[in-house]
Amino acid sequence: MSLFLSRLRFRRDAATAAIRPLFVPDDADERITAGHRLVWSLFADNPNRRRDFLWRQDEEHSFMVLSARPPLDTRNIFTVETKAFVPRLSPGDRLGFVLRTNATRSAKPATSDSRGERTDVVMAALAPLAKGDDRREARQDVADREGRAWLLRQGAKSGFVADPQELFVRGYRVHRLPRRQRAPGRSAGGVTLGVLDLEGVLTVAEPAVFLAALASGFGRAKAFGCGLMLVRRAPG
């Protein structure tokens, strides 16, 4: 499958600057939902399209996108740099990476009529602690432990081995996003989304398996800026 890696930056002209706050709100939760709508608009050439891209907001006015099709900016609000994503990898290659992800684990097994339930790995580990100062003080340590363990498990099934000595959790944030309304005047409630930022060095074990995992993304909430792993050659 052909893939394309794109960097999107807002244009610096006055017209784009005037509407930029609509696309990049000050509120972090609103920024995720705005980014979701904005990036999707670059690929929604057909009402029946399914999402075939991953994205992340790198900076306030910059997005990275990995997609099966080049993005199409019909509104002309971005400067778009796109190149074919065709890394040539061999077993033993070392890559530096950054990953923003919603890391989950099974909370309830799937049945014949259910896909099963999943829960955020950090939230699950914090749940036994009483709410309050103890939970807040423990959150970063728990995020570090659970985030590292989750990524090591991902590597075992995704064709890579993360170096535990060069694996870091750079941050963990909880966002609360509104669900779409399912009927006039009736809201389906909101979604709580835990987001981990991971950084480190990995070794490629199975190139084909790893490339397939890069294309599909890691973790959940991929429509909301999670799952895209960016890689580069590691020194040495």
User: Each residue of 103-112: pLDDT tens digit?
Assistant: 998 876 555 4
User: Each residue of 121-152: pLDDT tens digit?
Assistant: 999 998 888 677 677 778 889 999 999 999 99
DSSP code string of 81-103: EEEE------TT-EEEEEEEEB-
User: Each residue of 199-230: pLDDT tens digit?
Assistant: 999 999 999 999 999 999 999 999 999 999 99
Q: Residues of 160-174 as b/e, b for ≥16 C-beta within 10 angstroms?
A: bebeeeebebeebee
Cα gap 227→236, rounded to integer Å? 27
User: Each residue of 163-190: pLDDT tens digit?
Assistant: 999 999 999 999 998 865 443 443 455 7
Cα gap 212→214, rounded to integer Å? 5
User: How many other CB atoms are there within 10 angstroms of residue 116's CB atom?
Assistant: 10
Cα gap 150→142, rounded to integer Å? 12
Domains of the chain (ranges plus CATH)?
4-84 (3.30.70.1200), 94-233 (3.30.70.1210)
Q: What mean pLDDT value characterizes the chain?
A: 88
Q: What is the pLDDT of residue 1?
A: 67
Provide the percentage of residues in the chain whose pLDDT is more than 90. Answer: 63
Q: Which residue has the tokens 């870091």?
A: 168
